[in-house]
Amino acid sequence: MTIKRFFNNKQFLFFFILALLIFLVAIFAPFIVTKNPYDAIMTESLLPPSSKYLFGTDRLGRDIFSRIIYGTRPSLLMTFSLIVIVFVTGTFLGVISGYFGGKIDSIIMRLADMMMSFPGLVLAIAVAGILGPNMVNSVLAVALVTWPKYARLARSLVLKTKKNNYIEIAIVGGAKTSKLLLKYFLPNIITTMIVTATTDIGAMMLELASLSFLGFGAQAPTPEWGLMLNEGRTYISKAPWLILYPGLAIVFVVVVFNMLGDTVRDILDTKNN
């Protein structure tokens, strides 16, 4: 598998460029906006979109366009922090469970089953409510209900790999556990785990935005899209732009990363090669 195969795929290249642009917007947000997203000007409250305020203003007179641009930062930061946490934690626990088996396997899998027995968002809300509403706790709450998916996938891949003859030969030859895991097991499962993480980016972003919308994620005055939807819902008839533009931002970013993940999966799918 080479990088060239990815960039020869026009669909991947298109969505990769869009994803890169989203990251660039987050990085260079201070140079893109013309107004401070935190400045409240009460005399300019709920102004409709105009040449002065491209996306209008909110109830405190803050520029919606600036807040949406800055909103890429917490949204991407929380989402990718969550992906890293569940990827590392789930993969590690799944590999340990599948390789060692026995009581370790039973404990980890029963814990995973217990976490998966609850509706994911409901459990995340409960955990975030206990920990306290903020961005860090919302990430931890969603991670707590998501890692079992990665653990079970990693475990199944390890169990499948253990059936290969070269694994048995390596064990008989006296290969150490660390060498077996790093040389044989991880290379066989890492591609599938990365594809799963990539395709989950959009879903993770939606879950985090949902927690913010419900008041368990980012807190005011942070310019986060889910929180902006929550703040604007009261004025949906009077100032629809308060929910229109944050909603479009969420839809656009989620679609881009979903399509990027699907394309990566299709390229790496050996059945299509």
Closest by CA position to 254, among listed 229, 225, 233: 225
- pLDDT value, residue 88: 94
Q: Are 222 and 135 in contact (CB under 8 A)?
A: yes
3-state secondary structure 114-175: HHHCCCHHHHHHHHHHHHCCCHHHHHHHHHHHHHHHHHHHHHHHHHHHHCCHHHHHHHHCCC
- pLDDT value, residue 2: 60
Spell out the domains of the chain, with CATH numbers in brackets. Answer: 9-28+62-272 (1.10.3720.10)
- CA–CA dist 179, 27 (Å, integer): 39
Please report, in tens digits, the pLDDT of each residue of the chain (273 residues total). Answer: 467 777 788 898 999 999 999 999 999 999 999 899 999 999 999 999 998 899 999 999 999 999 999 999 999 999 999 999 999 999 999 999 988 888 999 999 999 988 888 777 788 888 888 888 889 999 999 999 899 999 999 999 998 888 777 777 777 777 777 777 777 788 888 888 988 998 899 889 999 999 999 889 888 888 999 999 999 988 988 899 999 999 999 999 999 999 998 888 888 774 444
Bond into 187 cis (ω within 30): no
- pLDDT value, residue 270: 47
- CA–CA dist 161, 166 (Å, integer): 9
Instruction: Give the pTM.
Output: 0.88
Chain-wide mean pLDDT for the chain? 88
Q: Are 263 and 197 in contact (CB under 8 A)?
A: no
User: What's the chain's length in residues?
Assistant: 273
